[in-house]
Amino acid sequence: MSKRVIAKVISQEEISPRHFKMVIDAPEVAKEAKIGQFIHLKWVAKLNEHDPLLRRPISLNEIDQEAGTITIIYRAIGRGTQLLATLKAGDQVDLMGPIGMGFSIPEDTNKFVVVGGGMGIAPLYPVVKKLVELNKEVTVLIGAENKGQLLNLADYEEMDVELKASTVDGSYGYQGFVTEFLDDTLIDADYIYTCGPEVMMEVVQNWVIANDIKGEASLEERMGCGTGACLSCVCKIKVRNESGWDYKKTCIQGPVFPLNEVIFDD
């Protein structure tokens, strides 16, 4: 059950220009959190309480139930995230969470492929960790602008996974887009998880459909309430009705949806 808590920042560091990693002391949230869920976050205002106004939905990059902490990685690009980036150890954040339907891991499935692009790499790390714990075969495909933005790269390098990375500027791995790895006939998968820019996920979706496998995608939308009330964050999902689709709430019905059922056209 999600709740609202005022929690303390344990640490915050800029891991790459404009990319921040924040560890938050939130035992109640860590205890309940599942892979693929997110928190809806606001700085505790000292001044200018009303501006920027809204919370920011940010995926969980690590859930440490023993330590009672959660970790987020985000890019400080707008006014809200830039304010979050000014927080230091000991400062407080106001968070709602954990929210959403996370990733599921199907039983009797062995070969998993994870495809992450840019900030979309962040929510995938807990999935990979879980799969490794379960002794699954995991191929991790990640792509970003440059080496610094290949989130969790050092973690993946130390894990028992097949790792392929790409960068647009060629500063690490293959120079190009992560989706180009999918053309590699050596990539063999029973199930796929993806998160990243819509254009990337659409390529992954086409590949999944062409190869007749299933998977899940974690989506991002502009969000208001985070409770399912305001209907701001809806996304188009295929359903069996006259029009063939319906709007689903990314916050509480997602952010993870079956990859084959997502309609990428907005």
The residue range among 31-39, 155-163, 173-181, 219-227 that interacts with another protein, by the rule CB under 8 A, is 219-227
Q: ∠ at Cα 42 (37, 48), nearest 5°? A: 165
73 annotated among ligand-binding-site residues: yes
53 binds another protein (CB under 8 A): yes
In this structure, the strands spanning 234-238 and 245-249 are antiparallel
User: What are the residue ranges of helices labelled H in 163-239?
Assistant: 198-210
Q: Which is closer to another protein, CB of 118 or CB of 143?
A: 118
3-state secondary structure of 98: strand
DSSP for 150-171, please give it.
Answer: STTHHHHHTSSSEEEEEESSSS
The residue range among 2-10, 15-23, 127-135, 205-213 that interacts with another protein, by the rule CB under 8 A, is 2-10
**In angstroms, what is the minimal distance from the CB of 127 to another protein?**
25
Q: Among residue numbers 68 through 87, which ones bind another protein (CB under 8 A)?
A: 80
Q: What is the 3-state secondary structure (H, E, C) of 29-64?
A: HHHHCCCCCEEEEEECCCCCCCCCCCCEEEECCEEE
Q: Which is closer to another protein, CB of 50 or CB of 240?
A: 50
The residue range among 59-67, 114-122, 183-191, 222-230 that interacts with another protein, by the rule CB under 8 A, is 222-230
Cα distances (Å, whole numbers) of residue 139 to 39, 114, 149, 242? 27, 6, 19, 38
198 binds another protein (CB under 8 A): no
**In angstroms, what is the minimal distance from the CB of 210 to another protein?**
27
User: Could you say which of 10, 44, 54, 83 contacts another protein (CB under 8 A)?
Assistant: 54
**In angstroms, what is the minimal distance from the CB of 266 to another protein?**
5
- Residue that the structure tokens 């991002």 belong to: 220
Q: Is the peptide bond before 98 cis (omega within 30 degrees of 0)?
A: yes
Q: How many residues bind another protein (CB under 8 A)?
A: 33
Q: ∠ at Cα 134 (130, 138), nearest 5°? A: 70
User: Could you say which of 89, 229, 239, 263 contacts another protein (CB under 8 A)?
Assistant: 229
201 binds another protein (CB under 8 A): no
Phi, psi of 116 (to 5 degrees): -125, 140
Q: Read off the amino acid at residue 202.
A: E
Q: Among residue numbers 83 through 112, which ones bind another protein (CB under 8 A)?
A: 94, 96
Could you list the residues known to form a binding site for [2Fe-2S] cluster, using ranges. 225, 230, 233, 251
Can you give the binding site for another protein, defined by CB under 8 A? 1-4, 42, 49-55, 80, 94, 96, 221-235, 246-247, 266
